[in-house]
Each structure stands twice: as structure tokens, then as C-alpha cells.
């Protein structure tokens, strides 16, 4: 069976743990969800093919990051819905100086004789 280098497995576990901690400290739900998913991806390899102790730590980190991602998803969705509403409202108003459906008059100078 394939085994992951112990130093690589440990480094991936540490990176996953740091990602989880950063996700807890960041204020944006989008950034937190990104960090939790990145932590999940980092913990997959040690959870599957590392040594016995490192595998247990990887599984624990995988579970923790998954639970944090599931818990943070509603806040992410709420933030994303608010962002989409702002963008939709802004696009319906139009850009400054833009006429939406109005006829634009073009002033021309009188022809020279």
C-alpha cells in the first residue's frame, strides 16, 4: 500500500489546521468558507494514506473543517444573496450618464457655406 512521506503528511496536517484557524478569525463568510474547503482538501491525503497517528489527525482535521464549512455555509449564502441584490439593483439603475431607453438628441453644427 502507498504511504505518504511522514514529513509531507505532517506539513499537510499543519497547513490544514492553520487554514481552519484562519477561517475562524476572518470576518468574511466567503473567505472563511474558502479556507475551510482548502483545509478539507489539505487534510484528505493524510487522512487516506499517512501513518497511523498522522492519519487519525488528518481524519480529525477533515471532520473539523467539514463541520466548520457546513456551519458557515448559511452565512456565506446570505452574504452572497445580499451581494447579488446590490449588483442587480445597481445594474437596474444604470450607470451615471447612461440613458436607458431614452432618445438621445445629437446636436450638429450648421453646415458651412
Q: 45-84: per-residue pLDDT in tens?
A: 999 988 889 999 999 999 999 999 999 999 999 999 999 9
Can you tell me the distance from the alpha carbon of 50 to that of 58, in angstroms, rounded to the nearest whole number?
Answer: 8
pLDDT score recorded for residue 30: 94
The x, y and z cell numbers of residue 106, run together, are: 445629437
pLDDT score recorded for residue 99: 55
The x, y and z cell numbers of residue 16, run together, are: 490544514
- Which residue is associated with the grid cell 473539523? 64
Domain boundaries, the chain: 6-91
- Residues 6+ away with beta carbon under 8 Å from 64: 20
pLDDT score recorded for residue 69: 95
pLDDT score recorded for residue 6: 86
pLDDT score recorded for residue 100: 55
Tell me phi and psi for residue 74, to 5 degrees.
-60, -40
pLDDT score recorded for residue 104: 57
Can you tell me the distance from the alpha carbon of 23 to that of 36, in angstroms, rounded to the nearest whole number?
Answer: 6
Report pLDDT digits (tens) over 8-38.
999 999 999 999 999 999 999 999 999 999 9
pLDDT score recorded for residue 92: 75
pLDDT score recorded for residue 106: 62
Amino acid at each position: 500500500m502507498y504511504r505518504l512521506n511522514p514529513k509531507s503528511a505532517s506539513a499537510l496536517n499543519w497547513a490544514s489546521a492553520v487554514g481552519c484557524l484562519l477561517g475562524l478569525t476572518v470576518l468574511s463568510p466567503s473567505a472563511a468558507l474558502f479556507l475551510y474547503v482548502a483545509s478539507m482538501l489539505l487534510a484528505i491525503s493524510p487522512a487516506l494514506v499517512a501513518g497511523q497517528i498522522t492519519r487519525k489527525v488528518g481524519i480529525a482535521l477533515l471532520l473539523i473543517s467539514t463541520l466548520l464549512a457546513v456551519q458557515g455555509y448559511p452565512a456565506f449564502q446570505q452574504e452572497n444573496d445580499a451581494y447579488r441584490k446590490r449588483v442587480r439593483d445597481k445594474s437596474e439603475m444604470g450607470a451615471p450618464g447612461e440613458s436607458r431607453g431614452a432618445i438621445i438628441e445629437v446636436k450638429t453644427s450648421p453646415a458651412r457655406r
